[in-house]
Amino acid sequence: MRGVQSLMAGIAATDIPLLVVGEPGVGKEAIAVQVHKLSPRRDGLLRRVDCSALSLGDLDGFLQLAGSDCGAGTTVFLDEIGELDYACQARLVELLAATDAISHGRDRQVWIATTARQELELEARAGRFREDLYYRIGAVSVRLPPLRWRREDISVLTSFFLAKYALVFGRPKPSLSAAALRVLHSYSWPGNIRELENTVKRIVALGDERLPMADIELSVEKSQPKGHSLKQAARAASRQAERELILKVLGRTKWNRKKAAEELQISYKALLYKLKQIGLGDSVD
């Protein structure tokens, strides 16, 4: 996440399109909004577009954002661009090309930020996403790790949400029990930060941690192995070590997977397969 923060500060000063990739609820929109706030466009408009609900007709209005009447500094945030159907993708390529033409020779009036839950590079290679669109929006790509891979953030986020919703509901900031905190750190958080926020919100709203924590505690208990042989423990430790090494090398290569594969001394295809195993790829070439 420190690498992500550094990249955000660097990209904010440019007009290079930004693509943020990650699981639902991991904070992709927050990253795009924060880059807008850090940029010279901070006083301009921020327009969010839900790509899952877009039609061809809706897309035609997009071009107006590049017009001279729009004013400098507009950020267009295309949320979940991987949900666009192929016809809409083709039309968006045309509109982005027109935007580039209008901006040629002067300051760009529209900055494009996009998010996706899919690995669009793999989707493009599989023919499910247009390559020309991917190369237009993916000049800089940020991949956000899921919350279960950065459990050290859980305490900070929990404290932040406790304070936030105490203010919203006009109540003192509650303190969670040690048992509740242990459960929060043990849970896998499939809904990521959004799920954690909703859990903390319920705790503050109810003024009691027991009911909101019950389902999470049950899920944690079910996920615990009933018995562990030495062989099983060794396999689990090996998988964890492999995952940590892959993520460390990917961080060092700034998620250049070809360089990472070379450093790990495995084939590129083998790395893609391992990424799929740990939840960072929907498909493999």
**Can you say whether the dihedral through the CA atoms of 76, 82, 85, 90 is positive or negative?**
positive
The stretches in the chain having pLDDT less than 50 are 66-69, 105, 282-285
Task: Report pLDDT for 191.
Answer: 93
Task: Report pLDDT for 101.
Answer: 58
Query: What are the pLDDT digits (tens) for 214-260?
Result: 888 888 877 766 555 666 667 767 777 787 788 888 878 878 888 88
* Residues 82, 54 contacting (CB under 8 angstroms): no
pTM over 0.85: no
Task: Report pLDDT for 107.
Answer: 55
Q: Name the one residue in this structure whose structure tokens are 């929060």.
A: 184
Q: How far is 234 from 228, CA to CA, in rounded Å?
A: 10
Distances (CA, A) of 55 to 64, 67, 114, 162: 16, 21, 17, 39
Q: How far apart are the first and last CA of the chain?
A: 28
- Length of the chain equals 285
Domains and their CATH numbers in the chain: 2-145 (3.40.50.300), 148-223 (1.10.8.60), 234-277 (1.10.10)
